[in-house]
Structure 1
């Protein structure tokens, strides 16, 4: 009798373990867990490192092939986050707490000035500066992040990491007015970014279809004047999935994400 009772107990435990192992993950955790996977790719995948090296190598080739400067001084406009600074530790920190991006925690992170550089970035910008090209850092970090941002850039010795070459977000997240400001005094020979809006206002707050159409329209610029860095963690592509709104609950975000995926 005791032997039969033991067998029955083991059977029940096995069934319970099986149900636990196959339990469907709550939908509201999909976005947060996705940040862990994208951060793992950014931090640990040699393929990600290779993509960054490839982007900056291509950028260098384009600079080498520029004709002699005439007229206005030449300039490169570059984004900062996930273009040459790695903020994946912030995404991991948030995800481990079950959270996505928050302005206050982001500001606390950038104030630490601890973001590392992406492979190939620093040597490229030093090379371009040595060629007499001015570097302008155009970012949608906020004004309260200026001091921490400059400390981070200066920590690694990025060229021209000074107030007048750091253009932060003021009244709009669109970078077009800042690009035009630089264009008044400089010949912009290259733009670098991880987000399509880093290159043209054609991509500001657009739908997925509009973004894809914009890429087709500017096809000739990619790999020459436009150098794109990979970012699977966040960006305009994610905003487009959420219809350029930040008013969704985590569960609603998950529904929007799933709804647009191809399956069979």
Structure 2
């Protein structure tokens, strides 16, 4: 379930400050969702804080973009530097042991930035407008992420994608990833998308043809388990902007990228 800014205002305010710590690879708890009797953080001020964090500006076409000089970009750069060092070490160890190392990337707001959609829709979600936005296939890259995909591949690490996008959005997702330079292993054997009509057998614990009861964690962890158990890879790192991208095991080191605009449970 995707929750809007209005549903998680207090938790999102904390997420900006805490994202980089989780992103360094440390295993930390998720954001607090505890109810409180005190007045929550003001949504209008939170939206301004989010703009400041991203350095949000509209380009010549009126598209909202993040600034490469923003705190958001700085946090991503720190995560990227740590991830490169770790991938280099972990890949060498895995190859030495005769293993097949792999990394797993979420797509939305891990590789492709949806800031323009979030701001235009006041940090709310609508399935129809979101589908239209995705199908335009013109989202910008999350700073540094396409380069990290290519870096992992250059070290002999197999790249997989584990996304909440639907099977119907595969063409658009592939086109968009190619546009931003993440043109690595974009075939169906490496890019896993949700297929609720015909779920794969490895998700049989929570889905069957025409029936989908998987939570985000069950879907993503089940896919990673398939990559390891069935395909024979050793996942050395998992990248996502949501805690639900990273929970459930079969991850190697986890990297939480910052995203204060929405929360997926």
Q: TM-score, normalising length from structure 2?
A: 0.64
Matched position secondary structure for 1:147? helix
In 1, distance between residues paired with 2:126 and 2:51? 17
Partner of 1:199: 246
Partner of 1:115: 139
In 2, distance between residues paired with 1:180 and 1:85? 24
Deviation of the 1:227 alpha carbon: 1.2
In 1, distance between residues paired with 2:166 and 2:236? 26
In 2, distance between residues paired with 1:33 and 1:94? 17
Structure 1 residue 188 corresponds to structure 2 residue 250: no
Q: Match for 2:260 among 207, 232, 243? A: 232
Does structure 2 retain, via aligned residues, the 8 Å contact 1:83–1:192? yes
Deviation of the 1:35 alpha carbon: 5.0
Q: Name the CA shift for 1:35/1:141 in 2 (closer, same or farther; >3 Å).
A: farther
Does structure 1 retain, via aligned residues, the 8 Å contact 2:170–2:193? yes
Q: Choose between structure 1 and 2: higher helix proportion.
A: 1
Does structure 2 retain, via aligned residues, the 8 Å contact 1:192–1:227? yes
Partner of 2:173: 149
Q: What are the residue-to-residue correspondences of 1:19-98 with 2, within 5 Å?
A: 34=46, 37-39=49-51, 41-42=53-54, 43-44=66-67, 46-66=70-90, 67-69=93-95, 70-95=97-122
In 2, distance between residues paired with 1:181 and 1:228? 22
Gaps of 5+ in 1: 1-29, 203-220, 240-264
Q: TM-score, normalising length from structure 1?
A: 0.64
Which structure has the larger Rg over C-alpha atoms? 1
RMSD: 2.4
Partner of 2:152: 128
In 2, distance between residues paired with 1:160 and 1:100? 32
Does structure 1 retain, via aligned residues, the 8 Å contact 2:88–2:155? no
Deviation of the 1:74 alpha carbon: 1.0
Deviation of the 1:32 alpha carbon: 7.9
In 2, distance between residues paired with 1:32 and 1:140? 29
Write the deviation string for residues 205-225 of structure 1: whole angstroms up to 9, x where unpaired.
xxxxxxxxxxxxxxxx9xx81
